[in-house]
């Protein structure tokens, strides 16, 4: 549906040049919800703006459907207003001099589309009903609350039934409760309309909850791409594991790989860990790897658990009660391990505790650099 190939974009100012996007490539299916996730400055917004035609890249190709809207090789650059897209901006960008109705109608009366007055009105009301704002149609835009403006922006982006919906951190200006509500709404709306959506965010929770697929970006590149489950549970890059959620890393080397239950033993400073191996290239003996284990993947107990594998003894350094969990730091040798413990467990300071790291939660990452 949307395909981006080898995209590069450099900003040049008087003082410096900054390569914001360095060879980004991805493809989405029709109706897919695809998220670009990364910290600020990673190039995710620039990538989105290139797709929208608001920035002109130096290299690469962008196709919407069958049509190339940008191609450096063929010298194609279709301006924004001729790309069949809808976009929601972080600032909402609701035009303050127009009513809600005029805002949403704008894409329908602009450009080449010729619609009757009646048809325009119908489609505007339809778009407004999608975001449950029909009753505000005649309101002047500046009188709306932040959440309402956000929904108007969404209605405006969807009114002309674009091929691709682009969302640039649309929820970051909303308060926490509203944000949760809108996550669900946007996700359901996109699925119902079956519109291909590119979503840009720095919020990992948003990305995990909403996306069909996530591309984690760092320093102008896509580091890893996968479903939310893959990204969270079995990241292949240390960067992904570190950026999406909290994680403990253990450096180690692969021991003789006796393939018992599709696991590999890794010698680490906290002892030998049996790690689950997904399909892929097998590990050779002596190979240096990184083992990533999420704090909530580890279970903490005061007595030795029944399991045979991956049980480690440590000392409780600190614990903080956090309501749904207790955030603990457990020292094993010289390594500090973050663990989420059951909130009901009584945790005396400096207690001796047992950690169980189920092999399924121990993910082997090849690259050693963090």
Find the part of the chain contacting other proteins (CB under 8 A) among 20-28, 85-93, 199-207, 326-334.
Answer: 85-93
Q: Which of 200, 115, 99 is nearest to 155 (CA)?
A: 99
Residue 145 found at the interface with other proteins (CB under 8 A) = no
- Contact indicator for 137, 99 with CB cutoff of 8 Å: yes
Residues in 122-141 that interact with other proteins by CB under 8 A:
140
- Contact indicator for 36, 199 with CB cutoff of 8 Å: yes
Q: How far is the CB of 11 from other proteins (least distance, A)?
A: 10
Binding mask 89-108 for other proteins (x = CB under 8 A): xxxxx-xxx--------xx-
Q: How far is the CB of 242 from other proteins (least distance, A)?
A: 32
- The DSSP bridge partners found for residue 224 are 216
Residues in 37-66 that interact with other proteins by CB under 8 A:
52-54, 56
Q: Which of 38, 43, 60, 86 binds other proteins (CB under 8 A)?
A: 86
How far is residue 311 from each of residues 86, 252, 278, 348, measured CA to CA in Å? Answer: 52, 17, 22, 20
Q: How far is the CB of 160 from other proteins (least distance, A)?
A: 7
Residue 77 found at the interface with other proteins (CB under 8 A) = no
Residue 321 found at the interface with other proteins (CB under 8 A) = no
- Between CA 88 and CA 198 the distance in angstroms is 11
Total chain residues near other proteins (CB under 8 A): 33
Q: Which of 193, 192, 92 is nearest to 145 (CA)?
A: 92
Q: How far is the CB of 144 from other proteins (least distance, A)?
A: 12
Residue 307 found at the interface with other proteins (CB under 8 A) = no
- Between CA 58 and CA 72 the distance in angstroms is 7
- Between CA 337 and CA 355 the distance in angstroms is 10
Q: How far is the CB of 88 from other proteins (least distance, A)?
A: 9
Nearer to other proteins, 80 or 145 (CB): 80
Torsion angle in degrees (nearest 10) through CA of 81, 82, 86, 89: -30
Residue 170 found at the interface with other proteins (CB under 8 A) = no
Residue 9 found at the interface with other proteins (CB under 8 A) = no
């Amino acid at each position: 549906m949307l395909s981006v190939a080898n995209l590069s974009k450099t900003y040049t100012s008087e003082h410096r040049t900054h390569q914001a996007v360095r060879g980004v490539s991805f493809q989405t299916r029709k109706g897919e919800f695809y998220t670009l996730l990364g910290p600020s400055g990673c190039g995710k917004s620039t990538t989105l703006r290139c797709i929208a035609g608001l920035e002109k890249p130096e290299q690469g190709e962008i196709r919407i459907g069958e049509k190339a809207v940008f191609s450096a090789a063929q010298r194609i650059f279709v301006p924004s207003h001729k790309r069949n897209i809808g976009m929601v901006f972080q600032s909402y960008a609701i035009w303050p001099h127009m009513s809600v109705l005029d805002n949403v109608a704008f894409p329908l009366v602009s450009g080449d589309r010729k619609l009757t007055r009646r048809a325009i009105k119908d489609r505007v009301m339809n778009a407004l009903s999608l975001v449950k704002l029909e009753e505000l149609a005649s309101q002047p835009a500046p009188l709306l609350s932040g959440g309402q403006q956000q929904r108007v922006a969404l209605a405006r982006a969807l009114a002309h039934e674009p091929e691709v919906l682009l969302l640039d951190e649309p929820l970051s200006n909303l308060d926490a409760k509203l944000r949760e509500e809108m996550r669900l709404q946007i996700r359901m709306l996109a699925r119902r309309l079956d519109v291909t959506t590119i979503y840009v965010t720095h919020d990992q929770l948003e990305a995990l909850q909403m996306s069909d697929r996530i591309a984690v970006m760092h320093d102008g590149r896509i580091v890893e791409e996968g479903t939310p489950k893959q990204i969270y549970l079995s990241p292949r890059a240390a960067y992904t594991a570190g950026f999406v959620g909290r994680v403990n890393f253990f450096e180690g080397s692969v021991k003789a790989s006796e393939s018992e239950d599709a696991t590999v033993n890794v010698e680490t400073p906290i002892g030998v860990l049996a790690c689950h191996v997904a399909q892929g290239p097998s590990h050779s003996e002596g190979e240096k790897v990184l083992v990533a284990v999420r704090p909530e993947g580890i279970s903490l107990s005061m007595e030795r658990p029944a399991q045979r594998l991956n049980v480690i003894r440590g000392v409780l350094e600190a614990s903080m009660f956090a309501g749904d969990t207790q955030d603990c730091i457990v020292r094993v040798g010289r390594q500090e391990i973050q663990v989420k413990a059951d909130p009901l467990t009584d945790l005396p300071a400096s207690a001796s505790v047992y950690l169980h790291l189920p092999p399924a939660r121990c993910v082997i990452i090849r690259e050693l650099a963090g």
